Amino acid sequence: MDTKHLGVNSKLVHAGSVHDAYGSATVPIYQTSTFAFANAQNGADRFAGQADGYIYTRLGNPTIDALERQVAEIENACGAVATSSGMGAVSTLYMALLSQGAHLVGTASVYGPSRGLIEKHFSRFGVTCTFLDTSNLDAVRCAIRPNTRLVYLETPSNPAMIVSDIQAIAAIAHERGCLVAVDNTFASPYLQRPLDLGADVVLHSVTKFINGHADVVGGILAARDEALCKSLRTMMIGLGCNMDPHQAYLVHRGLKTLGIRVERAQATAIRIAQWLEAHPKVEWVRYIGLPSHPQHELAKRQMSGFGSMISFEVKGGLEAGRVLMDNVRLATLAVSLGGVETLVEHPASMTHAGMSPEARLGADITDGLVRYSVGIEDAEDLIADLKQALERV
């Protein structure tokens, strides 16, 4: 179905779907590793790109294709490449775009391993990097060197909730001949479409909002043009970090309800953020929907909503935060985010423990920071849960 003219929720439901030979209303799971050729010539022709048809699931599969078409349509991309995990997408991106001697400029408070991969591993191959506060456009301008190939933004960032101006940074980067990739995991394509703002590649850990049910790990890359899509696909195939058909089926199903999940969770998130900000035991709250957030106005311009991720610190720092995390009952103490169930975690000792204490502080990740991913439970229940946990602090 051509969904280009439709609204975002209609696209979410219908984009990428094609009826199979039986008229199946949903995308079937083509759980196969390989596909039979009609004859030897047909096999050779498929390999040569001169005949249609699938070859081998690492190279392509109808269920995975359906998800890739769905995400490409929603991100206004030329195409998309699904990967085994979000880190599979990050690795594919780095491997495709960075060669020996290349330099990367990135958001300091990205998901810890996205930064660790460059600092600890790509450095072995002569790739250098500068991670900084990308909400500061002058700092981004100064950090770009003649050998900078990629500006890697995560906005809003995990977990400092820093918002970077994608349009302004794309203009700066393109003037200097480098590409811009945006990790759009925290916003989801429902709230933010980086390619429309000038980015070249957008990526997601679909483990989070896109799938939305805490039952799949996966990733996806989507690119603005054909050549970029091709190089990302070639690298994904070479690295072997393809998505599995069953994973793709679940993610495709989850994505259909992204709009209603995000709307509900963000309506609750603003209430919780306001409630926490007014609570005497809370030191500070960082939620991009609050006027107190330093990039609130930018987020308003760049996104169509504020999402459901909140970072905050309880008075008393780490110890007080631990008491809170040990006493929530409705929220689950677990890493990950963006699912229907509310999750709470401690970045300094969990998701961002791999960063040095100095790098964490430079990225605004204080030891007392607690990250709270709002799910779709009733707002009153979540507030009551936080209230009783804060009473024990």
Q: Which of 212, 382, 185, 116 is nearest to 194 (CA)?
A: 185
Q: Counting contacts by CB under 6 A, is residue 194 touching ligand LCS?
A: no
CB 335 within 8 A of CB 345: yes
Nearer to ligand LCS, 179 or 390 (CB): 179
R_g (Cα) of the chain, nearest Å: 21
- Shortest Å distance, C-beta 120 to ligand LCS: 16
Nearer to ligand LCS, 111 or 372 (CB): 111
Question: Distance between CA atoms of 135 and 153, rounded to whole angstroms?
Answer: 10
CB 89 within 8 A of CB 132: no
Helix (H/G/I), strand (E/B), else coil: 79: strand
- Look-up of token digits 């359906």: 66
Task: Say whether 315 is catalytic.
Answer: no
Q: Which of residues 135-174 bind ligand LCS (CB under 6 A)?
A: 154, 158
Which one of 69-77, 84-92, 144-152, 235-243 is the stretch in contact with ligand LCS (CB under 6 A)?
84-92
**Among the residues of 117-241, which ranges form H helices?**
137-143, 166-175, 226-239
Q: Counting contacts by CB under 6 A, is residue 336 touching ligand LCS?
A: yes
Which one of 45-53, 83-91, 130-138, 294-302 is the stretch in contact with ligand LCS (CB under 6 A)?
83-91
Residues 330-347, buried b or exposed e (16+ Cβ, 10 A)? bbbeeebbbbebbbbbbb
**Cβ contacts of 246 within 8 Å, gap of 6 or more:** 29, 31, 63
Structure tokens at 210: 């896109």
Q: How many other CB atoms sit within 10 Å of the CB of residue 100?
A: 8
Nearer to ligand LCS, 92 or 351 (CB): 351
- Shortest Å distance, C-beta 266 to ligand LCS: 17
Nearer to ligand LCS, 208 or 293 (CB): 208
**Cβ contacts of 193 within 8 Å, gap of 6 or more:** 74, 75, 76, 184, 202
Phi, psi of 254 (to 5 degrees): -60, -40
Q: Counting contacts by CB under 6 A, is residue 111 touching ligand LCS?
A: yes
Nearer to ligand LCS, 238 or 354 (CB): 354
Q: Which of 186, 245, 208 is nearest to 336 (CA)?
A: 208
Q: Name which position in 63, 85, 155, 311 contacts ligand LCS (CB under 6 A).
A: 85
Compose the 204-233 pattern: x for residues touching ligand LCS by CB under 6 A, - for all others: -x-x---------x-x--------------
Nearer to ligand LCS, 51 or 333 (CB): 333
Which one of 11-19, 48-56, 300-308, 330-338 is the stretch in contact with ligand LCS (CB under 6 A)?
330-338
Question: Distance between CA atoms of 152 and 134, rounded to whole angstroms?
Answer: 9
Point out the catalytic residue in the list 165, 183, 200, 385: 183
Task: Say whether 111 is catalytic.
Answer: yes
Task: Say whether 56 is catalytic.
Answer: no
- Shortest Å distance, C-beta 189 to ligand LCS: 14
Phi, psi of 104 (to 5 degrees): -120, 140
Q: Name which position in 17, 114, 192, 295 contacts ligand LCS (CB under 6 A).
A: 114
- Pair type for strands 282-286 and 309-314: antiparallel
Query: Residue with the closest Cβ to ligand LCS?
Result: 86
Task: Say whether 208 is catalytic.
Answer: yes
Active site residues: 58, 111, 183, 208
Please report, as ranges, the residues that interact with ligand LCS according to CB under 6 A.
85-87, 111, 114, 154, 158, 183, 185-186, 205, 207, 217, 219, 335-337, 351
